[in-house]
Structure 1
Amino acid sequence: MNSVFTEDTKTGDIIIQFPAASKLFKEYKIDFCCGGNRPIGEVIKSQQLEDKDLIKVLNIMYEQMQTTEEIDWMTMPLTDLVNHIIHHYHAKTRDLLEELSAFVSKVYRVHGERDSHLKEVYTQFFLLKDELEQHLLGEEQRIFPKVMEYDLNNSLETLEEARAEINILEKEHEGAGDILKKIRQATNDYELPMDACNTYRLTYLKLEELESLTFDHIHLENNVLFRRL
């Protein structure tokens, strides 16, 4: 078997070439969005995952993959990429945030006195909601129109205007990622109480869904869109 991925391959580059690896990375809490510029070997050592043979597993999975159905994000027209981000990630994120607002509030109100960690979940979620809503709007108003304009006319001036926003957006991505990690820590990796009601269970499931969606979203922007700019 020829090894496509080595210890020096960056985590973000692995997901670009092999998007299906994101499931494996999430299982082992490997950051491929904000931390997408770290070599996989370095991550494995820092998280003491040497016994998992992750690089070997990645190469086996990649060899078995049917590549004909994979989307080539690095060559897709920038306008199509931006529209995909807006209609898939932005739309789903807004729907999830709205849905979770009611769930998180109800679980905290009903179970917060007994389960003290829910106060932290409630606080961090609404902080995240505020930051993400402003972030999505900022992307749609500040950078995406410039990207699509550049895709249309190849204006270097427009490209530089878009590039000027990238550092700001990447810092916002890091902030959102940090909040999601705090929520995961507060819930002890979304470990449910033995007697958790259906709303409690659904809240945790939806929070994990939001985490997964956000990390995929950040990866596509940091490691694909911003890199292409």
Structure 2
Amino acid sequence: MERTFTETSNVGEIVKTFPKAGDLFKSYRIDFCCGGNRPLLEAINEKNLSADEVIGNLNTLYQETKALHNTTIDWDNASNGELIDHIVNKHHRYLNEELPQLSPYVTKVFRVHGAEHPHLGRVHKLFNELKVELEQHLMKEETSDFPLILTLEENPTDENYAKLQKVVDELENEHSHAGDILKELREITNDFTPPEGACGSYRLVYSRLENLESDMFDHIHLENNVLFPRSVVRA
């Protein structure tokens, strides 16, 4: 397996380059915040951990995440079923993992730095609003809306077309609201630029919010501009 990170890699730089490494380090109780400016091996040895295990798991997680975000499909020739599978397995999976993992970091940064940086209260509120809305949105898509799209292929009745058009309008409105929240998050964080001297957790939150925005843009594009238009148009 390709080793992107080695014993000499700087702990803080690893999390900066690969934000999800923060979750792995947290599970091993490796300090990537105040103790992030040191080689990975030093941090591993401090906790009496296996270097082979930690570094191996880190590189595996990196390759898996990289592969997940580099998936390419010919959308013009892919079926609705293939496109839905891709959306669920890539974008829904990402959100289902990332939203609960990122949540405690957002809360921690607000609790520790909110008095100095009042805008973090708004970040905390917006993130949690987005989290609740997206969790409900994903469940609705997977249990109701996507099955309706597939049903329509087998049973293209006027009633099903009318039902799907209503569903698509609702989903697009929800996408628009999520997009508005992401735009406000970008604005109040100065394009996700942490203040000078920000701690590792502060920088981690901003980096992962920016990654969340990027994935959401790809996600919404596939639904609004590819899946939905061709699903509501009669063959």
Determine if the TM-score, normalized by the shorter chain, exceeds 0.5. Answer: yes
Gaps of 5+ in 1: 1-68
Q: Which residue of 1 aligns with 2:38?
A: none
Q: Which residue of 1 aligns with 2:80?
A: 78
Using CA pairs under 8 Å that are at least 6 residues apart, name the structure with larger relative contact order, 1 or 2.
1
| 1:222 aligns to 2:224 (yes or no) | yes
Q: Which residue of 2 aligns with 1:203?
A: 205
Q: 1:223 to 1:161 in 2, by over 3 A?
A: same
Match of 1:113 among 107, 112, 115: 115
Q: 1:79, 1:151 within 8 Å by CA — same for their partners in 2? A: no
How many residues are matched?
161
Give the AA of the match of 2:120: L
CA separation in 2, counterparts of 1:191 and 1:95? 24
Q: 1:82, 1:144 within 8 Å by CA — same for their partners in 2? A: yes
Structure with larger Rg: 2
Q: CA deviation at 1:135?
A: 0.9
CA separation in 2, counterparts of 1:203 and 1:70? 28
Q: 1:70 to 1:114 in 2, by over 3 A?
A: closer
1:25-44 alignment runs, 5 A limit: none
Q: CA deviation at 1:89?
A: 0.6
1:166-177 alignment runs, 5 A limit: 166-177=168-179
CA separation in 2, counterparts of 1:99 and 1:205? 14
Q: TM-score, normalised by structure 1?
A: 0.66
CA separation in 1, counterparts of 2:222 and 2:228? 9
Moved over 3 A (4+): 151-160
Q: CA deviation at 1:70?
A: 5.7
CA separation in 2, counterparts of 1:153 and 1:167? 21
Gaps of 5+ in 2: 1-70
Q: TM-score, normalised by structure 2?
A: 0.65
Give aligned-pair identity as a percent.
46
Q: CA deviation at 1:111?
A: 0.6
Q: CA deviation at 1:156?
A: 5.2
